[in-house]
Amino acid sequence: MPELPEVETTRRGIAAHLEGRRVRQVIVRRRDLRWPIPPVIGRKLPGQRIERVSRRAKYLLLDTTAGSALLHLGMSGSLRVLAPATPAGKHDHYDLVLEGGHALRFNDPRRFGCLLWQAPGQIHPLLAGLGPEPLSADFDGDYLWYLSRGRRAAVKAFLMDQSVVVGVGNIYASEALFASGIHPARAAGRVSRERYRRLAAAVQEILAHAIERGGTTLRDFLRPDGAPGYFEQELRVYGRAGQACRRCGGPVHSRVLGQRNTFFCPHCQH
DNA sequence: CTCTTAACCTGGACGC
DNA sequence: TGCGTCCAGGTTAAGA
């Protein structure tokens, strides 16, 4: 479900409720997520004040002086802030109960998400080796061009590689490649510097705009306040196989690339 | 290194 | 109504 815009939307939604508050209790209903929830969280987190809710790539971090809780939403995870004593439903795997009784609740049918712990001053192994944030100054077309020299994998797989740049998932990769006129199956090493500049600009523009719209709701993504995201209506190619390209009117194609369904216009993208 | 593939897990949509 | 099949926004681990 969540790519960078959806995770950032979630961060903004929960931050106002969490920052400055203490965690009273950690309730774990199912420990076996992508990785088991480590017992250290139950020992360290209660009593701690959440100083900041931050984001790195598609991970959310609840920063305290004792360490940081590291949250990932996987494919189907979502977070809500709920009133005290709201009954838990199916797939509600953990709650972080705050002082005052409100709870941050994690729901995730497929259990690809995780809740891990990062000690103060340490970088969790999952965060080591991640590429730059796409909306930071460390990311631009020249960087992509330089890094891609000699790479034979498809440019779409290259763009979705989180060690290259973080946050770009299957929806926004198709969208950014369409916006910059690059065929998703083209070898990454055979895209020109000028076109990588356009691609990087498209990634930044699309992600920023999607954040403004509260992310993309395709099936079940909801913001922490329960509202859907409104970027779906802005999608140019994703999920539109067989429909008219919004630029040339020809049919949008789809094919599987790197195990993921990919949408593009063969007339507009080369 | 780089690249590809299988695997993790559940639910919804669809065809029969 | 029920059952089988396919698909889904992510990521790692293992193997070539």
Which residues lie closer than 8 Å to A128 by C-beta, 6 or more apart? none
Residue A55 host element (H or E): strand A52-56
Catalytic residue among A11, A55, A56, A58: A58
Decide if A260 is catalytic.
yes
Q: CA of A115 and C1' of B5: distance in angstroms? A: 27
* Residues A110 and A91 sit within 8 Å (Cβ to Cβ): no
Q: Please tell me which residue in A24, A198, A213, A260 is annotated as part of the active site.
A: A260
Beta bridge partners of A237: none
d(CA A6, CA A207): 10
Return the DSSP state at A227: P
User: Does residue A218 reach within 7 angstroms of strand C, measured from its CB?
Assistant: yes
Residues 6+ apart with CB under 8 A from A80: A104, A105, A107, A222, A224, A226
**pLDDT in single tens digits along all 270 residues of chain A:** 699 999 999 999 999 999 999 999 999 999 999 999 999 999 999 999 999 999 999 999 999 999 999 999 999 999 999 999 999 999 999 999 999 999 999 999 999 999 999 999 999 999 999 999 999 999 999 999 999 999 999 999 999 999 999 999 999 999 999 999 999 999 999 999 999 999 999 999 999 999 999 888 887 677 888 888 888 899 999 999 999 999 999 999 999 999 999 999 999 999
Residue A144 CA, nucleotide C15 C1', distance (Å): 28
